[in-house]
Chain A
């Protein structure tokens, strides 16, 4: 059941109706959500996937109870052992499906050759996301941040919550789980705002991202494409991945808002980021929050790391050593979390390079800016910084667009060997219309990208667009909603060729 399919829309709306209908019955809403989660998982990835997810949730649930028991009994080393055992088991399951599944297939073939049939293991939906949620849950119980959940079904509903299981956001128990225990009343404001956000999410996905996707795929496939054209395809890919991921998150957040369940925000206008560090505070924020809380701070404040940094003689290096080390570890792991190939490791190192040098060379950069008499508050400087950040990110996306490292380098060679700014004319001479989109569709694509940038700028300026729409009279609102639905239906990319265009971050 794809998020962009009509089946999902009907399913989500039916769940919302049943959810509020069951509000009169005690536990009714939780039962509806439990049933919806089960149906969604089975319809999306099958019974085997449901069995693996249930096993993961059961392990995490019982580990939480055992850790809490040891913590309350003041058995610190037992609690620590149980916590690490739970983390290792969770990561082992994640690593198996992410890294070693191919090895299992080889073993399966080997055993099949000897007449032993081993059934295929299906990768469970959302494993990369809910594994992090479960690790955070165990960590917070270990540090007495909140008590362990006593009811298995409550914990199951929280972990498998169908809107967010597919591609996040990564929810923390303390913030999200208590909401499932409340009885929610339908509110016209929440339902309207939720619908608005979901509609905008679908526009981003099916009108903008999938349209860009056609062009990008066709250009990258064309061996004869020139350097500038390939570079432009990667620029467009940057917009595609943003519209795709944030569009999916908007659909999810909108649906959740309709159900009166508030989830962690995942984006804060990343297109206006002025540095790579700032970008990671605005992009995939729930992953950033997880990494900062459960990896970055523990590494920086680790006694051995602090002891080592105190031995450094240079006072500035002493100050920044632990933060730099933690940044490198975090970003390499962020890269690996995205995928299994070496290209993802290099992608993580690439991000780590910019984040850590921003800290290491910060004072030197400041001196250079002062020496060049740059006014850091000037709009032109801010625009330059945003464009520079966007280009650095676009270059980094060579690593995640290609399947592996050799393909990444091949794509880079093709792009930069024949690159010339003089080839810019290809954007205006009709060349682009040879790549799957006609002239009108290309114009629509650029209009979509401009809309994406404009909305980010307005959000950055604290303009509350959804509230502005809500304040309009009934006719204007009706026209706006109708136009949004028409845009999705008429301008959306559908059809057999594109039905498989699942959300990019769903694959991670």
Chain B
């Protein structure tokens, strides 16, 4: 699943190395439009619901956090 998520992230921002970055939100690497593209792509790919209040730096700052968010949404489905 990690590879699948990485594929989604890279399709939105091919210029970012998501395996290395740890401050995607805190360091302003992702703009709000990127965040929206990533979130909606993840929702479509994994058939999950992500709410606006899930968009927090701790859920989106790095690949691990994003994987944990997707896993929690899959578990709660």
Q: Which A residues contact B (CB, under 8 angstroms)?
A: 139, 143, 145, 277, 281, 292-293, 296-298, 300-301, 306, 319, 322-323, 359
Q: Known contacts being A281-B28, A306-B40, is A298 close to B33, with CB within 8 Å?
A: no
Interchain CB contact under 8 A, A359 and B32: no
Task: Point out the residues of chain B lying under 8 angstroms from A277, CB to CB.
Answer: 31
A-B contact pairs, 23 of them (CB 8 A): A139-B53, A145-B53, A277-B31, A281-B31, A292-B32, A293-B52, A293-B55, A296-B32, A297-B32, A297-B36, A297-B52, A298-B52, A300-B40, A300-B52, A301-B36, A301-B39, A301-B40, A301-B50, A301-B51, A301-B55, A319-B37, A322-B40, A323-B36
Minimal beta-carbon separation of B26 from chain A (angstroms): 12
Task: Point out the residues of chain A lying under 8 angstroms from B39, CB to CB.
Answer: 301
Q: Which B residues contact A (CB, under 8 angstroms)?
A: 28, 31-33, 35-37, 39-40, 50-53, 55
Minimal beta-carbon separation of A131 from chain B (angstroms): 20
Q: Classify the interface of chain B: helix, strand, loop or mixed.
A: helix
Q: Which residue of A lies closest to B32 (CB)?
A: A292
> Which of A145, A300, A301 gathers most chain B CB within 10 Å?
A301
Minimal beta-carbon separation of B11 from chain A (angstroms): 12
Q: In the bound complex, what is the Cα–Cα distance between A296 and B40 (angstroms)?
A: 14
Q: Classify the interface of chain A: helix, strand, loop or mixed.
A: helix
Q: In the bound complex, what is the Cα–Cα distance between A281 and B51 (angstroms)?
A: 22
Minimal beta-carbon separation of A270 from chain B (angstroms): 14
Interchain CB contact under 8 A, B28 and A297: no
Q: Which residue of A lies closest to B53 (CB)?
A: A143
Q: In the bound complex, what is the Cα–Cα distance between A292 and B34 (angstroms)?
A: 13
Interchain CB contact under 8 A, B28 and A359: no
Task: Point out the residues of chain B lying under 8 angstroms from A298, CB to CB.
Answer: 52
Q: Which residue of B lies closest to A139 (CB)?
A: B53
Minimal beta-carbon separation of B46 from chain A (angstroms): 15
Task: Point out the residues of chain A lying under 8 angstroms from B51, CB to CB.
Answer: 301
Of the candidates A139, A143, A293, A322, the one whose C-beta lies within 8 Å of that of B36 is A322
Minimal beta-carbon separation of B36 from chain A (angstroms): 5
Q: In the bound complex, what is the Cα–Cα distance between A296 and B34 (angstroms)?
A: 13
Task: Point out the residues of chain A lying under 8 angstroms from B50, CB to CB.
Answer: 301
Minimal beta-carbon separation of B9 from chain A (angstroms): 16
Q: In the bound complex, what is the Cα–Cα distance between A300 and B36 (angstroms)?
A: 8
Q: In the bound complex, what is the Cα–Cα distance between A89 and B46 (angstroms)?
A: 39
Task: Point out the residues of chain A lying under 8 angstroms from B40, CB to CB.
Answer: 300-301, 306, 322
16 further A-B pairs in the complex, CB-CB below 8 A; given A292-B32, A297-B35 = A139-B53, A143-B53, A281-B28, A293-B52, A297-B52, A297-B55, A300-B36, A300-B40, A300-B52, A301-B39, A301-B51, A319-B37, A322-B40, A323-B32, A323-B33, A359-B33
Q: Which residue of A lies closest to B55 (CB)?
A: A297
